[in-house]
Amino acid sequence: MNLSPEEIERYARHLVLRDIGGPGQSKLKHARVLVVGAGGLGAPLLQYLAAAGVGALGVVDDDAVSLSNLQRQVIHATQDVGRPKVESARDAIARLNPHVVVEPHALRLDETNVRSLIARYDIVAEGSDNFATRYLVSDACYYERKPLVTAALGGFDASLTTLRPFERGPGGPNPTYRCLFPTPPLAGEIPTCEEAGVLGALAGMVGAMMALEVVREIVGFGEGLVGRLLLVDARDLRFETVRYAFDPENPLSGAGAQ
């Protein structure tokens, strides 16, 4: 398993799970995961991936901690206000699990750096707060052939899916993000977090779900969310899963590709 005695004790509840066990825990230890955004979704996501024993976590965020973040971004504390989020997250992960290597990237992703950064990791989890980053990351993951777990938050609603568009499923090519959402919404069409607000506990719940999906992708158990969009309604605590398929006209990998 390549686990030390301390790690065996730390991950004991994973090791007795039939679908994880020693082989699965070893996969987690040797996995490299890039988390885009250390905010509402990224905060719980990072905590659960670190607790699970993912060997290396890259954290991308160019923002600093503000007081208004703390209602939902639980990896940061009051004393972290004003610090870069990647530094605050790094220190919190070190306190939680010293076996995890944290690679902070205090930068804004763009066309010049996104593919080279993604290429260094096995899987990407994206929980940013803007559509430009979502499309940029999903396109880059397609070209670099990296699985992507992506989620989005509204005030009382959220969505989550997994993308492996560089592979084929039983019914043909797997869908891309642009099969689901071909083009970004117009500027101002969707209110920002500052304008609409967000329920803090919802961010925690969906961030934990993202961590579960990342662990499942690494270890390989159950049915993932490829081709399925999980919708969460926090007002009534309802969950719905909608299936979506490859669009042959999609602008990334279909007939509409440039």
What span, in angstroms and rounded, lies between the C-alpha atoms of 42 and 230?
18
Q: Which residues pair with 105 in a beta bridge?
A: 60
Q: Is 3 helix (H, G, I), strand (E, B) or coil?
A: coil
Judge contact between 177 and 134, C-beta under 8 A: yes
What span, in angstroms and rounded, lies between the C-alpha atoms of 150 and 138?
8
What is residue 258's DSSP assignment?
Answer: -
- Residue identified by tokens 């994973």 is 14
| Catalytic-labelled residue, pool 70, 193, 212, 245 | 193
Q: Which of 245, 125, 134, 258 is CA-nearest to residue 179?
A: 245
Q: Which residues pair with 59 in a beta bridge?
A: 35, 104
Judge contact between 28 and 215, C-beta under 8 A: yes
Q: Name the pairing type of β-strands 32-36 and 56-60.
A: parallel
Q: Is 179 a catalytic residue?
A: no
What span, in angstroms and rounded, lies between the C-alpha atoms of 9 and 244?
41
What span, in angstroms and rounded, lies between the C-alpha atoms of 196 and 69?
14
What span, in angstroms and rounded, lies between the C-alpha atoms of 33 and 253?
24
- Positions marked catalytic: 193
